[in-house]
Each structure stands twice: as structure tokens, then as C-alpha cells.
Amino acid sequence: MYPYKKITVVTGHYGSGKTNYTTALALELAKTGQPVTVADFDLVNPYFRTADFKDAFAQRGITLRAPDYANTNVDIPSVQFDLGGLAAEPGYLLIDVGGDDDGAVALGRYAHVLNSYAETGELDMLAVVSFRRYLTRTAAETEQYLRSIEKASRMRLTGIVNNTNLGPETTTEMILESMPECLALSKHMQLPIICVTAPDFVPAPSIPEHTVMQVPVAVHLPWIPAVL
């Protein structure tokens, strides 16, 4: 497994699968025996939030911090927890950032704190990308979107997670077909590919030069119960 830093900020476009990746990563890191905290920064979208998994996280010793309005249809972009305090606590901190300008701007309020951890090598900011989603079908489109996230958050990305998918229609071949665009994005932005994900219901692709991470599909449509 990639040597994840003390703090991992996870961002990406709507539908890229960043929340599912954050959830899968939290479960993996919990296996190390270290404390794991997930901070839900998806302030605008009332669906597809890590807050859906509060009970399942608790059963595995994972702490979830989310806005008071998570899991409701009330969209009020505010954070009621001390992110700086969470960052100072022992163990891993995962921050799931909403895939829009509001999420990135909200994160930017803590840029001075988080960038201090980046300077000491204790923070990664990962871009979860799917080349089967609107506005991120090519490396050029994806780079434009990711640059806007960097500008709004006042933070720099440090790596890419290729999470190309079409939900239950995802295939191994689809993931392999996405690699040329992902490699182009990595080259253009001068960012390493941290891993390539594959849902656990398809055979893992063979990509010798990159880590392949099979992930459970934890995030479902709102009317389908979340199961971990």
C-alpha cells in the first residue's frame, strides 16, 4: 500500500468517486491499528457523503466528523468542527472535500494550517479522477478542473488517483482504456499516480508500473442502503 501521510485531503469532480475512495482508504488505514478520523467537507451535496457511514465507521474504530446538516436536504455551507485540532491529533486524518468551488473555498479557510503540514511532508492532497465523467473525459479537461481546485483552496495537489468508473457498469477493460489519459494528466501536471482503483466486483487490471487498489463499492444512490 502507498505510504499515506498523516493527513490526506481527497478532492475531485462530482461523480469521480472520491467519497467511495475516502471510505475505502479509511477502512484500509484502520487495519494498521492507528486512529483514523474522516472529516466530511462535502458541504453542499446532501447525497453521497461519508456521513452515510457513521455507524459502520464507529464499528471499526473510525471517527467521523461532519457538518451538522450532513444527511439532510438543508444546504448550509458551514463547518462546526476544529480542523486544526483534528490535524494535531495522533493517527490519520482523511478530509473528503466537496466536488465544487464551495468545497474548495471552505478548505481554503484552513490552508494556512494544512499547508504547514504539507511543508513538513505530512500531508497529501489527492485528486480522484474518472475519465468517464462529464468535464473530465480528457487529460486537458481534467487538468483545467483540478487547477481551479488548487486556486480556490490555495493548496497544491500532490498526487492522482485514477478511479475511472461507470458505477455498476464498470469493467476491467474500461479502467485499462483510461490509462493513456491518466498518464498524460500525470505528465502535464507533474504529479505521481498514487494508485489505480478497481471496484471489487471486477477482476483487478494488471498494470505492473502502478499500484492497483480494489475497493468495495460503499456509496450507492440515496434510495439504496449503504453497506460496508
DSSP 143-180: HHHHHHHHHHHT----EEEE---BTBT--HHHHHHTHH
Task: Quote the number of domains for the chain.
Answer: 1
Determine which of 13-27, 51-65, 148-162 has the lowest per-residue pLDDT on average. Answer: 51-65
Q: Is residue 223 part of a domain?
A: no
When pLDDT is averaged across residues 58-84 and rounded to a whole number, the result is 69
For residue 27, give its domain range. 7-215
Q: Is residue 76 part of a domain?
A: yes
Q: Residue 185 is which amino acid? A: L
Sign for the CA dihedral angle at 148, 152, 153, 155 comes to positive
Half-sphere exposure of 170 (CA within 13 A, CB side): 29
pTM, two decimal places: 0.88
- Domain containing residue 61: CATH number: 3.40.50.300
Q: How confident is the model at residue 48 (pLDDT cuts 50, 70, 90)?
A: very low
Q: Is residue 122 part of a domain?
A: yes
Q: Which three cell numbers stand for residue 106?
A: 471552505
Most confident of 71-85, 88-102, 120-134, 213-227: 120-134
Q: Is residue 228 part of a domain?
A: no
3-class SS of residue 193: strand
For helices 101-108 and 139-153, the axis angle rounded to 10 degrees is 40
